[in-house]
Amino acid sequence: MYKFILFLLVLGLPSMLKGQNQKKTLDVDSFSNPLFAGDYPDPSILVDGDDYYLVHSSFEYYPGLLIWHSTDLINWEPVANALHKYVGSVWAPEFVKYDGRYFIYFPASNTNYVITADTIAGPWSDPVELNVPMIDPGHVVDEEGNRYLYFSSGSYVQLSKDGISIVGEIKHSYSGWEIPREWSIECFCMEAPKLFKRGDYYYLTVAEGGTAGPPTGHMVISARSKSPFGPWENSPYNPIIRTQTTKERWCSVGHSTVFADTEGDWWMIFHGYEKEHYNMGRQTLMLPVEWTNEGWYKIPDNINLEDSFEKSSGKQVSKTSVFRDNFEGSSLKPEWSFFKELDVNRYQLNKNGLTISGKGNSISESSPLLYVPTDHSYTVQVEVELQGDAIGGLVLFYNEEASSGILADSKSILTNIRGWQFETEKNVINQHLFLRLVNINNIVDMFYSVNGKDWFKIENSLDVSGFHHNVLGGFLSLRIGLSSFGEGKVVFRNFIYEPLQ
């Protein structure tokens, strides 16, 4: 089967792509997880009238805090990146609308920031530092209209009315739910407080057990109080959700927000790693929620994360699974981000394609332009033109210490395997070529072409299954990258990403 797929990819992809704009019909009367495949951790959802908006942790990827929009909770489109100024690794955000204005609170570099906008599409303000050293802000408003931020320690602090500064002292309110000692967890690590009010009670949802580590660690915990300051009563249904065994598909599930949709149905949105695909990062998941007669929320009995769930909208929505970018227009599509920088003077888009100036002397120094893969198996290709003494290529990038891919200088094809770089096909090109990666369940073959039709597999292949947080740290994911380094520039054209079934 593998050889047959490879044969089709090498010889038949151009003809396959003639149908790349054909749309697949998605029935949104039901959905199955993941809601967001790929690296979309720490989801924070905002219900705004008939619209839903979602933002995730963006860590070292800039521009960051990509906002997504939906009208049915199932189909999402990118709107804009809200963060353009580098402030460090951006962790779990909180998306809020208050008094007609939008806010995103987020931790980075051992402090917390807020950015604001009058409209979702922006412009968004530069980040304003709040001088609070904790992580994972969660917003709540009391009955008098006072605003507060909760943090991972179970503490809270009052916000100013305009939401861009703190007033008063940090106070402790909640100490969490005691985890049985015999459970295999990474750490107690209470985090991700999310709050809402229903009836007489404020509900506080947190994560415990550690973000990664053992698959059974991360979990969702609930508590309630008649005051936003406590005392808090832990739910008898804790943990609300937890991976029970190492055999399950979804691992380390947690960081949940509980919310009502526009039809009054209740849901829980959260994240989890996928077994055998940890390098995809934490993916966004969703489950229905029900309320008991005693006023507790829980997951309905006999619900499994691998089930399909009803989410009626009364309509059919079309969706295409192929992503292609000819780099037309005046700005990059919001799905793209650079690693640890956003230097607008380094790249240019015009009718010739995307030109990126070389940076550094290796992939690890090049701050590549990155795209999030959403599938276990896929093919990706791009057209490349080398200018000057630049080296460019198509890579799989986790961080500066972990990346691999196929590259080219003006004459030869180069391979990079975890930093070991060498010529693999000498004097076969003249400054212009096409590159392709074929990733089938973490085994990656690499190809080049001089005309975009006849493809040649190079000798070297990759195993990228170990490029993930539990091995490398950083809470990142393995992303597809366009790398440009050395003295000169690299022009990229006709980027195509296509899932393989």
Give the pLDDT score at 359. 97
Domains of the chain and any CATH numbers: 23-319 (2.115.10.20), 323-499 (2.60.120.200)
pLDDT given for residue 25 in this prediction: 36
CB atoms within 10 A of CB 370: 26
Per-residue model confidence (pLDDT) at position 310:
72
Q: What are the average pLDDT values for consecutive 10-residue runs of the chain, which has 501 residues?
A: 42 36 43 94 98 98 98 95 97 97 98 98 97 97 96 97 95 98 97 97 98 97 97 98 96 98 96 98 97 98 83 47 92 96 94 96 97 98 97 98 97 97 96 98 98 97 98 97 98 98 77
Question: Residue type for 84, please?
Answer: H
Distance separating alpha carbons of residues 186 and 465, to the nearest angstrom = 21
Using DSSP bridges, classify how beta strands 147-150 and 155-159 pair: parallel, antiparallel or unpaired.
antiparallel
Q: 7's torsion region: left (phi>0), alpha (psi -120 to 50) or beta? A: alpha
pTM of the model: 0.92
Q: What pLDDT score does 10 carry? A: 42
Query: Cβ(254)–Cβ(211) under 8 Å?
Result: yes
DSSP state of 124: P
Going by the DSSP 8-state scheme, the letter that residue 364 receives in this structure is: G
CB-count exposure of residue 389 (10 Å: 0-12, 13-18, 19+): exposed
pLDDT of residue 302: 87
| Amino acid occupying residue 211 | T
Cα 448 off chain centre by:
29
Distance in angstroms (rounded) separating the CA atoms of residues 76 and 210: 29
How far, CA to CA in Å, does 274 sit from each of 13, 250, 501?
A: 29, 5, 17
Tokens of 195: 């709050």
